[in-house]
């Protein structure tokens, strides 16, 4: 629960809410759902709350219901959420993303009946479009939800880079404390990195150096417009978890290059390609965070079933990572940092004044268990 500083940003503790897609936006705009969903994590004591994968271009969204930051009109509604998180003592981050060949996919809980009429489609903001990717190869040919994408040409690549830059500038205007470049989970930048998805023969394909080129160009371009006193994060799938794919060793090399270009911490996840599977279990991705931290000498976030408080504390104490990021664990317990604080010997002053009666109840429950 100790504070930690990245550049000019000091977080009140090392707990992070990892980005979680809500598939609840229309035309990229946040709404009351996002305010309540995200605001409770600020109330609950998290140090940093990172908004979900946010499309830097309209075609960059995973689905039509994703958040966006491709136009200035998106700024003001996001600023309202940022302001509330700040009022509760939390820092606010946003993940800038491009889905690549995994774009224009369905929202899982919507059925054909939900989209049967034009009126229903308009109400939900339904859109469908042609995805782009490093190569014209489907994410999963056996799954009809994924289209065969159009391979990006040089102009298309420049559009992607410019999209990340413009979105970062809008994030600054909205008041965000940090932005995270999404290069994980089988989305566009991960597609460029992985030899399983990237079949290009130009300067963006072939060798590892070439496959890293777009990620590094985006990092350089975003860092150039992002304030020098604000940290820049990157999320990596440290391993594709698939034979012939991107590896831990590759991620260590990439993390070193990202650090040299001004990236301040690596959010360490894995997987995302159809060829790769890994069974989730408590702490299952911590070795990825440890490997990148040790190999690249850069702060890392561990993520993936880390809800055990004392186990999470041990990860930090053992030097395996610098931050503990929760997603589903945060949904299950938005007050996880407050409970962690007391479980680790802290007092109840971290609870918001409006919830002191809850803190009193929590204190009695701890005493009863003791």
Alpha-carbon span 272 to 269, nearest angstrom: 9
Bridge partner residues of 235 (DSSP): 182, 267
Alpha-carbon span 39 to 82, nearest angstrom: 9
The answer to whether the beta carbons of residues 269 and 235 sit under 8 Å apart is yes
Active site residue 187: yes
How far is the first Cα of the chain from the last one, in angstroms, to the nearest whole number? 22
State the residue for tokens 């009863």.
368
Count CA within 13 A, CB hemisphere, residue 365.
9
Alpha-carbon span 226 to 23, nearest angstrom: 27
For the beta carbon of residue 151, count every other beta carbon within 10 angstroms.
Answer: 15
The DSSP H or E segment spanning 265 is strand 265-269
Alpha-carbon span 293 to 321, nearest angstrom: 7
Q: Which of 23, 126, 146, 187 is catalytic?
A: 187
State the residue for tokens 């996001």.
78
For the annotated catalytic residues, the residue numbers are 187
């Amino acid at each position: 629960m100790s504070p930690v500083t990245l550049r000019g940003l000091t977080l009140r503790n090392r707990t992070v809410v990892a980005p979680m897609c809500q598939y609840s936006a229309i035309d990229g705009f946040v709404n009351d759902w996002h305010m309540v969903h995200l605001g409770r994590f600020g109330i609950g004591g998290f140090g940093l709350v990172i908004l979900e994968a946010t499309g830097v271009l309209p075609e960059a969204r995973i689905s039509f219901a994703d958040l966006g930051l491709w136009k200035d009109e998106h700024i003001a509604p996001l600023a309202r959420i940022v302001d509330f998180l700040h009022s509760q003592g939390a820092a606010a981050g946003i993940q800038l993303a491009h889905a690549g060949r995994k774009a224009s996919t369905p929202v899982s809980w919507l059925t054909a009946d939900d989209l049967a009429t034009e009126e229903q489609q308009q109400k939900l903001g339904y859109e469908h479009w042609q995805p782009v990717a490093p190569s014209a190869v489907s994410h999963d040919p056996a799954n009809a939800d994924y289209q065969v994408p159009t391979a990006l040409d040089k102009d298309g690549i420049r559009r992607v880079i410019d999209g990340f830059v413009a979105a970062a500038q809008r994030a600054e205007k909205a008041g965000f404390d940090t932005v995270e470049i999404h290069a994980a989970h089988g989305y566009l930048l991960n597609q460029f990195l992985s030899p399983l998805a990237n079949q290009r023969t130009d300067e963006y394909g072939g060798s590892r150096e070439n496959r890293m080129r777009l990620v590094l160009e985006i990092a350089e371009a975003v860092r150039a417009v992002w304030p020098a006193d604000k940290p820049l994060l990157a999320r990596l799938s440290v391993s594709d978890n698939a034979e012939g794919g991107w590896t831990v060793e590759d991620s260590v090399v990439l993390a070193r290059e990202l650090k040299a270009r001004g990236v301040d911490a690596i959010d360490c996840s894995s997987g995302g390609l159809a060829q790769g599977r890994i069974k989730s279990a408590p702490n299952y991705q911590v070795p990825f965070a440890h490997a990148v931290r040790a190999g690249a000498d850069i702060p890392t976030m561990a993520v993936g079933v880390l809800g055990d408080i004392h186990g999470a504390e041990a990860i930090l104490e053992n030097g395996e990572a610098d931050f503990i990021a929760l997603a589903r664990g945060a949904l299950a317990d938005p007050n996880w940092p407050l409970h962690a604080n007391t479980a680790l010997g802290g007092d109840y002053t971290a609870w918001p004044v409006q919830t002191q009666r809850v803190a009193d109840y929590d204190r009695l429950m701890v005493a009863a268990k003791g």
